[in-house]
Chain A
Amino acid sequence: MELVLAAAIGILAASGTWLLLRPRTFQVIIGLTLISYAVNLFIFSIGGLRTGADPVLHHAAGDIAQYADPLPQALVLTAIVIGFATTALFLVVLLTSRGLTGNDHVDGEDGTP
């Protein structure tokens, strides 16, 4: 399971980085989205991987080792929300830029000084 997750994170991050370096806005935003998936999965995995473990305590007694670390899950939730909002904002700016400059370059070739 570790290998599959690590490969998934790596492939997402690599594709995201490549897309981020492309000259057009649409590629950049897809790249940012892929990187944010990779980062979210990464945060999710730092508490250690385990199957079927519960993050919420059922019983007052019991071994804490049986439970998953709830903090990374809380962190990833916050990161997803913030990432989603900023990506949406970026999309709006992207569309505005397309409207104002008439093209979709982010490599400085959009004709503005």
Chain B
Amino acid sequence: MSNHLVIAPIVLPLLVAALQLLVGEKRRRTVLALSVASCVALVLLAAALMLAVSADGVLGAVYRIGDWPARFGIVLVADRLSALMVLLTSVLALALLPYALGRWQHRGGHFQPLLQFLLMGLNGAFLTGDLFNLFVFFEVLLAASYGLALHGSGARRVSAGLHYIAVNLTASMLFLLGVSLIFGVTGTLNMAALAELIPTVPERTRALLHAGAALLGVAFLIKTAMWPLGFWLPRTYAAASPVVAAMFALMTKVGIYVLLRLGLLLFGDAAGPASAHFGSGWMLWGGVATVAAGIVGMLGARDLAKLAGYNVLISSGTLLGAIGLQLPAVTAGALAYLVISTLAIAAFFLVVGLLASDGDDETDDTLSLEPYVQPGEPAPNESLYAQEDESRVVISAPIAMLSASFFACALLLAGLPPLSGFLAKFAMLVPMLEAGPRTGATVLFALIIAAGFCTVIALCRAGIQIFWVEPERLVLKVRLSETTSILLLLGLCLLLTVLVEAPLRYLRDTARQIHAPAGYIQQVLPAAEVQP
């Protein structure tokens, strides 16, 4: 295997973005062709990377920048988990490109270069092997995301973006504090070297190490939008343009990825009695609280885009809780849920964008829902039957497409059979039961089931109002490119329903690999280097 494969997913979007900036906004076709080429190439690269790291007996690929040994230089590490996340990122980006063609990319400047920078930051964060570069790549992806969140402008976006930026800048400060505390205690920032050093940290500085790790964790939990750190999320995502919100569905997963990686690598079973499973209880109960907050928000949401935002919260909370349990089988299911829920929420944001926007109006592209009971007005179900009109039987193609997509999204998000959302939840919930009675696992299990039920209620209510009660409200100008994106994402979910066996096997191996960090450490720091 060519070793440069590991750095290619970072360098390629960087070069393409720089080239796009040089070409300039006016040559739209060239810029677009570059974007398409880059996204296709990224998918191929990610697939190649995944094949390379999933071969038998391969632990992963390590790329030493400048060929400095890992303790002194910067390393990029690709193992099964990183390859999975890189593939998910590039597939999502490719699927979203047609949607951006429609009307969104010209609502503001430099959409395509920003998207490429975002991809660079995401891939970098997934592939990096040390904490400080994680910070740098996080800043790259955040800087691009600030630009994307504000894409399209308008008072609502800028106001939500202001909160988003302030929250994330604060989180970055916490990130830096955590990194520097950990460096102060251990003298290294390489993740593998840290994992080796943590069991031997002297007792008097262990508290400092834990404080650093906790600060670092809070920074990631802000990005994951754990309750009570996640109040910024629904409003920002609802205000962002749909294609950006769909891409942001992945951004909370970056936090999940880092928590999963660092939690198991640094504070796994090998970390010694004082440090093992540090913070896993916080993740579990934080996840439980996040799911609960997401349910309440989702049932109360009066705005379809915010409803989608609360679905992101539920998905984050479920994942946090599941990885907080630190059981390999649950982690495998959680990874399946991560992939499916990212794709489904992205598709849902796109559908919401089509339902809500009337194409040209800049400020008011939200779709509000009626309150449950309107005082002084007839109950909503009367208006449902009030005007029986037989001519309504004819359903136009866009409405049929959108309502079918909405229905598919609802099934995926709620985790109902027959689509892959059910399989993913099933793969996550069964091991929780098999693990035996633990309070945390039981509470989480019950809440995940309840979340599925409440998603059904909330989405049924929204669907009835949008498609049945007031279909006149829908001003549909659906372009072919926009449907392509939605169908691509939903088709992927369908494909994963049919071909569930091979991906699940890959995920099980992934979970086993990240739960046994010795292989990772050995890969990054071969025995010859361990001796100073």
A positions within 8 Å CB-CB of B: 20, 25, 28, 32, 35-36, 39, 42-43, 46-47, 71-72, 75, 78-79, 82-83, 85-87, 89-90, 93-94, 96-97, 100-101, 106, 110-113
Report whether A28 and B155 are in contact in the complex, using a CB–CB cutoff of 8 Å.
no
Which B-chain residue is minimally distant from A35 (CB atoms)?
B173
A82 and B136 alpha carbons, distance in the complex (Å): 8
Selected from A39, A71, A112, the residue in CB contact (under 8 A) with B176 is A39
Interface centre among B143, B161, B177, B303 (most CB of A within 10 A): B177
For B163, what are the chain A residues with a Cβ–Cβ distance below 8 Å?
106
Chain B window 136-155, contacts with chain A (Cβ cutoff 8 Å), 1 for yes, 0 for no: 10010011001000100111
A89 and B158 alpha carbons, distance in the complex (Å): 12
Report whether A97 and B162 are in contact in the complex, using a CB–CB cutoff of 8 Å.
yes
Report whether A93 and B162 are in contact in the complex, using a CB–CB cutoff of 8 Å.
yes
Given contacts A75-B180, A90-B169, A112-B156, 15 further A-B contacts (CB under 8 A): A28-B166, A47-B184, A79-B135, A86-B139, A86-B143, A87-B169, A89-B143, A94-B162, A96-B153, A97-B159, A100-B155, A106-B166, A111-B155, A112-B160, A113-B366
A89 and B177 alpha carbons, distance in the complex (Å): 22
A29 and B469 alpha carbons, distance in the complex (Å): 46
A46-B183, A75-B132, A75-B180 given as contacts; is B139 within 8 A of A93 (CB)?
no
A69 and B476 alpha carbons, distance in the complex (Å): 62
Q: Is the interface of A mostly helix, strand, loop or mixed?
A: helix
Between-chain CB contacts (< 8 Å), 15 pairs: A25-B162, A32-B173, A72-B180, A75-B180, A75-B183, A78-B136, A83-B172, A86-B143, A86-B172, A89-B143, A90-B162, A96-B158, A97-B161, A101-B159, A106-B162
A34 and B511 alpha carbons, distance in the complex (Å): 42
Q: Is the interface of B mostly helix, strand, loop or mixed?
A: helix
B positions within 8 Å CB-CB of A: 132, 135-136, 139, 142-143, 146, 150, 153-156, 158-163, 165-166, 169-170, 172-173, 176-177, 179-181, 183-184, 303, 366
Which B-chain residue is minimally distant from A87 (CB atoms)?
B169
Report whether B177 and A39 are in contact in the complex, using a CB–CB cutoff of 8 Å.
yes
Report whether A79 and B165 are in contact in the complex, using a CB–CB cutoff of 8 Å.
no
A47 and B184 alpha carbons, distance in the complex (Å): 7
Report whether A90 and B155 are in contact in the complex, using a CB–CB cutoff of 8 Å.
no
For B172, what are the chain A residues with a Cβ–Cβ distance below 8 Å?
82-83, 86
For B184, what are the chain A residues with a Cβ–Cβ distance below 8 Å?
46-47
A79 and B189 alpha carbons, distance in the complex (Å): 15
A71-B183, A106-B166, A113-B366 given as contacts; is B173 within 8 A of A93 (CB)?
no
